[in-house]
């Protein structure tokens, strides 16, 4: 290979490397822009749909919306309104009281199961959006659209019936050594996401299961964002609420809620 050909190949490689680097840089910048714009769009939507609409005459004074006593009472009122709406249904519903750190399963307004919320976090969107608008959003129950979980919704047990008494064998005791680690995500029709994680303290296998579950969720989100970027479409940002509960209680909550069930949240 002569020197001229060698220089030509090196030049082509440099052009290719520069082109790929430039594409990756543009892709990264575009991704960052979308990451900033999407939450801002969510905040604007919440303020527009649920913000206070002042009448032409009268109405609430602007100063009351920053009063701490009013904010606290308004949040409690919204929580009760959402629970009353859920009580009209005949199915199991979930009430999350974040200030009291309690998660409660209810039927027709009657408590049937309660557990302790070990930790909780909410999206910054709810802090940056208008307080009255967010409280109005939380005054109605959230309806579950679909879910993702590390455990099946309804455990399936396969049994083969014996042909006669000669084939009958007593059932073996259940295998209690197998542990189902429970982590799940509830997507709602209102565009809110509820993450329920099991407690993993001191349990490496539980931590690993949660890490893989979280990784799968991040992969789905990245693929969705990539698709939006290819189609030049702004991705929809979904504000979230994350809670952590004991393992046994995470399984109970997930399997007790119906497919299109509801939950209410008090901030």
Is this model's pTM higher than 0.95 or not?
no
Q: In what order do the strands lie in the sheet with 142-149?
A: 110-116, 102-107, 93-97, 262-266, 142-149, 183-188, 193-198, 240-245, 119-122
pLDDT tens for 45-82 read 899 999 887 776 666 677 788 888 999 999 999 999 99
Cα 191 from Cα 189, distance rounded (Å): 5
Choice among 11-25, 129-143, 232-246 with the minimum mean pLDDT: 11-25
Span 78-93, mean pLDDT? 94
Q: Is a pLDDT exceeding 70 seen at residue 198?
A: yes
pLDDT of the residue at 187: 96
229 or 37: whose pLDDT is higher? Answer: 229
Q: Where exactly are the structural domains of the chain? A: 9-51+88-155+179-266
Residue 156 scores a pLDDT above 70: no
The CATH number of 9-51+88-155+179-266 is which of 3.40.50.410, 3.90.1300.10, 2.40.440.10, 3.40.190.10? 2.40.440.10
Q: What are phi and psi of 112, to 5 degrees?
A: -115, -15
The answer, yes or no, to whether residue 212 has pLDDT greater than 70, is yes
Cβ contact 144:260 at 8 Å: yes
């Amino acid at each position: 290979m002569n020197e001229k050909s060698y220089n030509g190949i090196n030049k082509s490689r440099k052009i290719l490397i520069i082109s790929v680097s430039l594409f990756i840089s543009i892709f990264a910048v575009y991704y960052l822009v979308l990451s900033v714009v999407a939450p801002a769009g969510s905040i604007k939507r919440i303020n527009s749909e649920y913000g206070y609409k002042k009448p032409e005459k009268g109405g609430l004074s602007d100063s009351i919306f920053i009063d701490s006593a009013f904010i606290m009472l308004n949040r409690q009122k919204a929580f009760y309104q959402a629970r009353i709406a859920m009580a009209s249904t005949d199915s199991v519903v979930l009430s999350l009281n974040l200030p009291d750190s309690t998660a409660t399963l209810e039927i027709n307004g009657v408590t049937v199961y309660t557990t302790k919320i070990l930790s909780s976090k909410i999206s910054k969107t709810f802090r940056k959006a208008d307080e009255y608008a967010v409280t109005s959003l939380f005054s109605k129950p959230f309806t579950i659209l679909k879910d993702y979980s590390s455990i099946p919704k309804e455990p399936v047990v396969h049994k083969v019936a014996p042909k006669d008494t000669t084939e009958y064998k007593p059932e073996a005791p259940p295998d209690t050594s197998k542990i189902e680690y429970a982590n799940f995500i509830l997507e709602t029709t209102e565009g809110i996401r509820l993450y329920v994680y099991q407690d993993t303290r001191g349990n490496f296998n539980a931590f690993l299961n949660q890490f893989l579950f979280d990784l799968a969720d991040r992969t789905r989100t990245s693929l969705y964002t990539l698709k939006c970027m290819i189609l030049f479409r702004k991705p929809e940002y979904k504000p979230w609420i994350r809670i952590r509960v004991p393992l046994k209680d995470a399984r109970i909550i997930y399997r007790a809620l119906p497919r299109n069930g509801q939950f209410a949240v008090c901030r």
